[in-house]
Amino acid sequence: MSGSIATRTGDDGTTSLLYGQRVPKDHPQVEAVGAYDELNVALGAVKPLLTDAAVRTLVTSLQNNLVALMGEVACAETDAARYAESKFAKISSGDVTTLDAAVAALEARGLKFDGWATPGANTLGAAFDTARVVARRAERRLCALPAHGRTVRPELRQFTNRLADLLWLLARQAEQ
């Protein structure tokens, strides 16, 4: 069958970055992309629980942002300029601003940080909290990349940090 997902090229423990460079499957960039992929899935698991159309639209938009972020992170440092010039979507300062506005809107409703949360008050809150902790893991993986020679644009770190904050607030909102 042509076009099979099972290429068998990874049987040796390597995988390809965006433009074809082979790296070990435990390479820091692969770890980071994997964490963001898990976050995308965690957000997908939230969607069937949503009754608010605006929140569903926001979550879908966040998933699209994560696809853009994963593309950039999945690119070798030597291909960063090529990626920057590509037609692929990229995280921008406007995306960070959108998250800032969403955080501010939730905080304006009285949803603020007040110590540690105890997740699990309801299914939706727990799902948002699960996505939040995956976001924090993805953030840690992203922040580790410069030590391994991969430049990370500030907007990617800012986006991930704000996203985790937003998910915390969405969990608290779901609990109320």
Task: Determine the Cα–Cα distance for residues 13 and 50; give it in Å rounded to an integer.
Answer: 39
Query: Which residues is 14 bridged to in the sheet?
Result: 24
DSSP state of 24: E
Please tell me the predicted confidence (pLDDT) of residue 117. Answer: 75
Task: Determine the Cα–Cα distance for residues 21 and 23; give it in Å rounded to an integer.
Answer: 7
Please tell me the predicted confidence (pLDDT) of residue 77. Answer: 93
| Residue closest to 77 by CA, chosen among 153, 149, 155 | 149
| Residue closest to 156 by CA, chosen among 89, 84, 87, 96 | 96
Q: Is the pTM of this model over 0.85?
A: yes
Which parts of the chain sit beneath pLDDT 50? 1
Sequential DSSP letters for 48-92: GG---HHHHHHHHHHHHHHHHHHHHHTS-GGGHHHHHTSSS----
Please tell me the predicted confidence (pLDDT) of residue 114. Answer: 65
Task: Please give the CATH number for the structural domain made up of 24-175.
Answer: 1.20.1200.10
Token duo for residue 105 = 């809107």
Please tell me the predicted confidence (pLDDT) of residue 56. Answer: 97
